[in-house]
Structure 1
Amino acid sequence: MTLTIPQLSLVVLIGVSGSGKSTFVRRHFLPTEVLSSDACRALVSDDENDQSATRDAFEVLHFIAAKRLAAGRLTVIDATNVQPEARKPLVELARRWHCLPVAIVLDLPAPLCQARNRERADRAFGPHVIRSQADQLQRALRSLKREGFRHIYRLDSLEAVESAVIERQPLWNDRRGETGPFDLIGDVHGCFEELCALLTQLGYVVEGGEDQPTARHPAGRQAVFLGDLVDRGPKIPAVLRLVMAMTAAGEALCVPGNHEAKLMKWLDGRPVRIGHGLAESIAQLEREPEPWRAAVRAWIDGLVSHYVLDGGDLVVAHAGLAEEYQGRGSGKVRAFALYGETTGETDAFGLPVRWDWAAAYRGRAHVVYGHTPILEPQWVNRTLCIDTGCVFGGRLTALRWPEKELVSVAARQVYYAPV
């Protein structure tokens, strides 16, 4: 059995005493990746079986786990973890550091575990302890998903334990191995003519017209779209066709914008407020066949919140991304990537007041984003916004990476009046 776990995750072993958890983690993980409750008891009391030191031991364990997760290190918890109150702080740790909690359950027969404990002189507890832990484990199996564990693996026999293989999987946003060169493109908002002109200026061969547009770069450069392809502009289906074709052919990457998130709600038939240009998307998409609209919905749903590229030196997200969220996966990470972070206030125009995260940014990676239209892109602490308001009569802008060269084309007209 192959157990696929995210490269950055908190792996929680769950099993009664004697189920072989420590042997399992020694076989599959580095010693530095494993935090053992027994070892932590020994650290604080010089005796790994001193149950009176359990509270202090878990304080140490949680502290070290937090430090590892903050540093982006996979962390494995070796303890019984059969009680919900033992698992709850671990799930909270994973959420705090925006990584996924994984449960590996060793559900072996209680008599086998009892026999193993009888062979260990340091385990002087009766069979009632194992029976109690086994009952708690069975209840845990019914609640792990509800508790927040994203991956759950149950090994219910010696054969399953012996044959288990751990496969570490990079997060979908981890594209550090891709070094470009890239052409990062700001918010398009249905400006198809300007997009074709910008791609042509960047050296791409654009063909096929509005019904079947394609684009490729003869030198192998890759476009990266920073979201908000839809709403407000005049040729939204054509923009979607082009970007979908480029991503399918490996000619481009794309992250979602807040406008794609809102459009997907409409495509799903969910209640949504028709504003900020969504009416234009609806009017244009309603003229398209239903199967194509379903393909658009599936494509948007598959977009990843952000990408870490070029050895970790480049991060792309629609609204930017603070350092603590880069290369991680959680609802909070996705929300920041889509919307940025607001103060909860609104300005004189009724627009949300946004926290200036870029002013406080001190990360190593360069972060390139869009979302908030500006007149002129300027680097701020290794961050750069390249939304220059094409749909509002401004320009459509791209950043060539790693050259850090800005390229832009002027809007042909004002398509949507800005507030």
Structure 2
Amino acid sequence: MYRDIPEFALVMIIGQDEISTKSFAKKYFKQEEMVNKEDLESKAEERLEARKLTVILLEDQKEQAYEIFIQLAKRHHCKPVAFILQTSPEEEEARRIEALTATLQKKGFKQIERVDCEQDDQHMTIRRVKLANNKREDHGPFDIIGDIHGCYKELYTLLEKLGYKVDEKAYKIEGMEPRKVVFAGDLVDRGPEIVKVLKLVMGMVKEGRAYCVLGNHDGKLQRKLKGSKVQVAHGLEKTMEELEKEPEAFRQEVKDFLETLVSHYVLDEGQLVVAHAGLKERLQGRESKTIRDLAMFGETTGRVDQFGLPVRLNWSENYEGDALVVYGHTPQRETKIIHNTINIDTGCVYGGKLTAFRYPERELVQVQAERTYYESARPF
């Protein structure tokens, strides 16, 4: 019997007595991972800040205690996991477990593992599952491509210029192994051939030749396809117009694909990070709704400029991380490396260029847009 937990998580082991709790913890976790509630303020904070799995041992507590642990997990952008130990088959014990489970669910625990110490514990294996953003073992080399926005011809030309051969019938690429392409998000909206871009990128990801992170326009399309109420504007109307000409099966395929996309990737032993709008060092390699939103939209001041667009904070000016962060989202005429970060959105859909950043070579390969497909609200 397997119980899967994330490689980075805050794990609570809840038992009625100290002996059973410690016995369970020692069987499945390392001593250095375990934190008693007395050390919560120091050791747990220290481990979570360092992105290390942290196990808290405690006997049944009041509801206020579980709130503390939920907030701790939120603060460090990790998943809270609870193991509830059942030490007897008595009916009263079963009712206690049910009540505790309901309390934890109400407090926000998404993963609750109930363990019968007399049966389950004898045949159980706890597996640590890598976070979806963890591709540290993939050393590349990589070709990272900025915001495409439906500019299929430019994408085709750029891939050929990089040395790949594009099979337009099968929607896949050939050659250049072991290089992989990493798409920095915003595949859709505004451009002339959105469906063809989707088919090519989806085919490349399926073949294992590419990774793709979620851009804000991709995220909006995902919500639309799920049935959420979104404003069909800022280029989404063009995407929906194209998708409505496709079979329902393809629209479902696009929806499923978008739901698999992560906020960012950590690659090459943590030396390279790709996120649509960039990501500060402390948030890299973690996952939460907050991180997902920051990676898609970037940080903003809450104000809008004279063009009616959000005023963004330039996070790269204060970046001090060891990882090179490659991102897009904010179009600019030319790329520039700032504090080990580089923005490769060069506004192809606005008549600029489509840019690829080659890693580890740190070389730029670009193609000029054939024309201006969409007028930018803000000059870039």
TM range (shorter): over 0.9
Shift of residue 283, structure 1, vs aligned partner: 1.1
SS of aligned partner of 1:79 = strand
Matched, 1:92 2:44: no
| Structure 2 length-normalised TM | 0.95
1:186-197 alignment to 2 at 5 Å?
A: 186-197=146-157
Indicate if the aligned counterparts of 1:102 and 1:152 stay in contact, CA closer than 8 A. Answer: yes
Indicate if the aligned counterparts of 2:18 and 2:58 stay in contact, CA closer than 8 A. Answer: no
**Cα distance between partner residues in 2 of 1:271 and 1:342:** 23
1:16-415 alignment to 2 at 5 Å?
A: 16-17=16-17, 20-37=20-37, 57=38, 60-109=39-88, 137-209=97-169, 212-415=170-373
| Structure 1 length-normalised TM | 0.87
Shift of residue 83, structure 1, vs aligned partner: 2.4
Indicate if the aligned counterparts of 1:83 and 1:136 stay in contact, CA closer than 8 A. Answer: no
Amino acid at match of 2:146: G
Amino acid at match of 1:348: Q
Shift of residue 108, structure 1, vs aligned partner: 1.4
**Cα distance between partner residues in 2 of 1:237 and 1:353:** 31
Shift of residue 265, structure 1, vs aligned partner: 2.0
Q: CA separation of 1:86/1:198 partners in 2, compared to 1, >3 Å: closer, same or farther?
A: same
Over residues 302-341 of structure 1, what are the superposed CA-to-partner deviations in whole Å (9 max), with x where a residue is unaligned?
A: 1111100001000001110111110001110101111111
**Cα distance between partner residues in 1 of 2:228 and 2:94:** 44
SS of aligned partner of 2:219 = helix
**Cα distance between partner residues in 1 of 2:97 and 2:56:** 16
SS of aligned partner of 1:158 = coil
Indicate if the aligned counterparts of 1:82 and 1:136 stay in contact, CA closer than 8 A. Answer: no
**Cα distance between partner residues in 2 of 1:394 and 1:182:** 23
The gaps in structure 2 that reach 5 residues or longer are none
**Cα distance between partner residues in 2 of 1:30 and 1:7:** 13
The gaps in structure 1 that reach 5 residues or longer are 38-56, 112-130
Determine which structure has more spread, i.e. the larger CA radius of gyration. Answer: 1
Indicate if the aligned counterparts of 1:36 and 1:61 stay in contact, CA closer than 8 A. Answer: yes
Q: CA separation of 1:395/1:33 partners in 2, compared to 1, >3 Å: closer, same or farther?
A: same
Q: Report percent identity of matched pairs.
A: 45
Over residues 276-323 of structure 1, what are the superposed CA-to-partner deviations in whole Å (9 max), with x where a residue is unaligned?
A: 111111111111111101110110011111100001000001110111
Q: Which has the higher strand share?
A: 2
**Cα distance between partner residues in 2 of 1:81 and 1:398:** 54
**Cα distance between partner residues in 2 of 1:176 and 1:367:** 14
Indicate if the aligned counterparts of 2:352 and 2:369 stay in contact, CA closer than 8 A. Answer: yes
Indicate if the aligned counterparts of 2:66 and 2:104 stay in contact, CA closer than 8 A. Answer: no
Shift of residue 143, structure 1, vs aligned partner: 2.8
**Cα distance between partner residues in 2 of 1:89 and 1:270:** 32
Shift of residue 140, structure 1, vs aligned partner: 1.2
**Cα distance between partner residues in 1 of 2:292 and 2:60:** 30
Over residues 235-267 of structure 1, what are the superposed CA-to-partner deviations in whole Å (9 max), with x where a residue is unaligned?
A: 000000000000000010001100011112222
Shift of residue 18, structure 1, vs aligned partner: 5.2
Amino acid at match of 1:32: E
| Aligned residue number for residue 12 of structure 1 | 12
| Aligned residue number for residue 52 of structure 1 | none
Tell me the number of residue pairs that the alignment of Structure 1 and Structure 2 aligns.
Answer: 376
**Cα distance between partner residues in 2 of 1:170 and 1:362:** 25
**Cα distance between partner residues in 2 of 1:75 and 1:359:** 32
Answer with 182-191 or 150-159: which moved more.
Answer: 150-159
